[in-house]
Structure 1
């Protein structure tokens, strides 16, 4: 292998947009439905209403419908954008590869937030509703009070949370995959990809929990004035200290570690199935 080949390696996982889109949709649906109860508990722990008034351990599947509708689209858009961006740089140096992964993850998060935020608002208000409001009533209330903007409350807070998360998770995931591939000397199995995703997700989740708590309280607030990231962050810290900023820490880390394993493992498996089918169809 020449020096150029050593220092300029293909970024692992260059895939067609359609493959990434459908595989991401499948993976997103699997992980969001499977881990929905844990997500509900995390939301209620972070709620300004308190865990018990928000529902406690009751009705842990409240808000599942918008998740089932939105998860395929959101995850599909993320991976379609992420892999599509990586495909623009098929050969880069090992030093530059993390920058490509960071930029690809940032682009993916911003694009998928267009569908993610409205779904999150409806889902989290349903999960933490002290008055047991229906999904239809939540949608009507949001639209009546704020119009379309009511469905994008916390949009930039979500972006501010998810972009740093991706900047931590995705380069770490890609790095772990690369190192494990070198160690094993063969292509990774979906289970090994899942393990890398779980570790990367846990690290990113732990470090971004305060932003997630702030985002949750902005989305759950009935008062449209309570939307300033800085003010809400300071308010949480002044009233509850560091414990408040890290509310729901354990469920969030567990959720994302399990979710990372399921998400990346399912994604890799779905990609393998789709690509194998395309190859078979090509030669038929």
Structure 2
């Protein structure tokens, strides 16, 4: 066990700062892979939706939401996890059972993701529309950030900007429920292996990076169908054809493309989230370790 782990979870303020840094790092650094994934999932197809052109289209709304979104997520996550772990250990002492490490992480991840989505959802919708309007510079200018905010606001106020909240929660909650408990477990496992091998201080960073990559890739692969549903739902809602339900969008994909349609973009999404896990969770753990 390293010094950071022996001291317990990072203080709330440190978790907020480290979470913001980690989120900004990953969202901007590997943004082109997210653009490719979104275009692969688009109903119009990859080439029509922009292909390999303008892969940083929509990076501004992502950058604007990444710092507060990451700060909120990790602030809520660490605070909730610490409280729940305290309850679990007190309960274990009373019952004589082993305390659960997975349940506090899972509950904390779900609560943190819910709060984070409130910050990120309006920007996620804008980002996807800008990614798919990047066929030409002229089209990109018509889908600028101020224009989209005006269109969504005039079409129904803030409720329009949060139209994608339900499908985003339907995707991000299962993702967080897989990623964070897996990361915490693998971090301890890889860290123990490094300690047993007599690893140096850099072993902790290596354990965090490996755990982040494995947890991110696993969560991404398992939740790809939900990601396809979320992308199609938001794009159909924005296309002027009414506001279809989540289930209606799923039925439409299955009729038109079969199960294969729900797995569109699984490879770039898994690669993206594996790299993201290294940067996101690795950066977060490293910042906490350095400054604690």
Return the TM-score normalized by structure 1.
0.88
Q: Check conservation: 2:191, 2:204, Cα contact below 8 A.
A: no
Residue of structure 2 in register with 1:34 after alignment: 29
Q: Check conservation: 2:194, 2:204, Cα contact below 8 A.
A: no
Residue of structure 2 in register with 1:236 after alignment: 253
Secondary structure in 2 aligned to 1:189?
A: helix
**CA distance in structure 2 between the aligned counterparts of 1:158 and 1:18, rounded to whole angstroms:** 27
Deviation at 1:36, TM superposition (A): 0.5
Residue of structure 2 in register with 1:145 after alignment: 155
Give the number of equivalent residue pairs.
266
Q: Check conservation: 2:35, 2:56, Cα contact below 8 A.
A: yes
Secondary structure in 2 aligned to 1:89?
A: helix
Q: Superposition pairs for residues 1-284 of structure 1, below 5 Å?
A: 14-91=9-86, 92=89, 95-129=99-133, 131-132=139-140, 133-185=143-195, 189-221=204-236, 222-223=239-240, 225-275=242-292
CA deviations over 1:51-108 (Å, ceiling 9, x no partner): 1221111111111111111100101111111101011134436552211111000001
Structure 1 unaligned blocks of 5 or more: 1-9, 276-284
Return the TM-score normalized by structure 2.
0.86
Structure 2 unaligned blocks of 5 or more: 93-97
**CA distance in structure 1 between the aligned counterparts of 2:125 and 2:117, rounded to whole angstroms:** 12
Q: Check conservation: 1:209, 1:249, Cα contact below 8 A.
A: yes
Against the structure 1 CA distance between its residues 137 and 49, is the aligned structure 2 distance closer, same or farther, given a 3 Å change threshold? farther
Deviation at 1:219, TM superposition (A): 1.7
Against the structure 1 CA distance between its residues 190 and 184, is the aligned structure 2 distance closer, same or farther, given a 3 Å change threshold? closer
**CA distance in structure 1 between the aligned counterparts of 2:8 and 2:247, rounded to whole angstroms:** 38
- CA RMSD, Structure 1 to Structure 2 (Å): 1.9
Deviation at 1:146, TM superposition (A): 2.7
CA deviations over 1:194-221 (Å, ceiling 9, x no partner): 1101101111110100110111112222
